[in-house]
Amino acid sequence: MIRLSVRFASAVALAALSISVHEAAAQQNVPPAPAQTPGEAVPSAPAPAAPAFPKPDPKNFTATLPTEDTINAFLQTSWGYDDTRMWQVQAILKTPVEGISKVVVLVGDKSGKQKASAIQFFALPDGKHIIAGEEILPFGEHPYADARAILQQKADGPYRGSALKDLEIVEFADFQCPHCKDAQANMDKLAVDFPKARIVFQNYPLERIHPNAKLAAEYAYCVAKAGGSDAFFQFAGAVFDGQDGLASADGATLTLNSAVTKAGLDPTKISACAATSQTSAAVEAQVKLAQDLDIQQTPTLVVNGRQIPIGGAPYDTIKQVIEYQEKLDGLTK
């Protein structure tokens, strides 16, 4: 599920650490409304105002790194897709551990509809990572660059759209995951709305909770190997449509063989391919790629290195973040 819109690495995971803070402006007592004269219009309530953040105390800036400019650039990269979000760096503090700084940021909503809150994270000495809650996340002015480079090299799944990798949208999914099934309608919309994108499917079977997910991934790998991307997406659509059949071992075999047939391939040959150690190793390599990128859930999109967990996410939000990432990467005017 999306965390308060999008994971911080892609937009906001730090928001999970938010704690309420008092509004900077003092609350005023509101006098009772005067008696209404018959026929008199009732005055409308004033619109909520954006929060007024308190002026930062220079005593709370005891660490030299990261700089306030770096933090703001990072937050702009992470949150800039949402033009209603506002923030202020409130503290950059030394900690007892050399090179690790504590950063406190006040976050608000320009419309004033949401109460201001404070978030904090710890910046690590390498200048490229932070600790937020229980997660280690990418940091810096270009926090997604390393993940983008890794995926350009290693995202080898079937794809639709462009052969170029200027805008690469990698979907990490599990065939037995209900949210992955639900997300396919949005994936189809993305293929239409971003015709210049390369949209890659990467297997990430979560065997611990989905016992037949790896078998489905092994079939999928063999279908793509034998029939290419077109056959794969026909197969994938059929598997997701019949996802309930993956609940048992016998049902999984029937569901997967049926999907292979719908993709125009021979189930006997694909089944034999899926049973090989080479295929198992290939799927395990895809799982390792997801783990190396610290993919925490399925389905997750990685857009030019930026993670967007999309289970249950509104399509407009997903599209908005991708458009913003396009802009950051100089792909739109």
Q: So what CATH class is 146-328?
A: alpha beta
Q: How many CB atoms lie within 10 A of CB 137?
A: 20
What's the pLDDT score for residue 278? Answer: 98
Confidence grade of residue 332 (pLDDT, cut at 50, 70, 90): confident
Residue 35 has pLDDT above 70, yes or no: no
What's the pLDDT score for residue 38? Answer: 52
pLDDT top residue among 295 and 36? 295
* 121 neighbors 130 (Cβ within 8 angstroms): yes
Lowest mean pLDDT among 16-20, 115-119, 180-184, 292-296: 16-20
User: Average per-residue pLDDT in the chain?
Assistant: 88
Q: Residue ranges per domain, the chain?
A: 13-21+49-141, 146-328
* 267 neighbors 257 (Cβ within 8 angstroms): yes
Query: Which sign does the torsion angle of CA 211, 313, 322, 4 carry?
Result: negative
Confidence grade of residue 116 (pLDDT, cut at 50, 70, 90): confident
Gyration radius of the chain over CA positions: 24
Residues 6+ away with beta carbon under 8 Å from 117: 15, 18, 19, 20, 21, 106, 107, 108
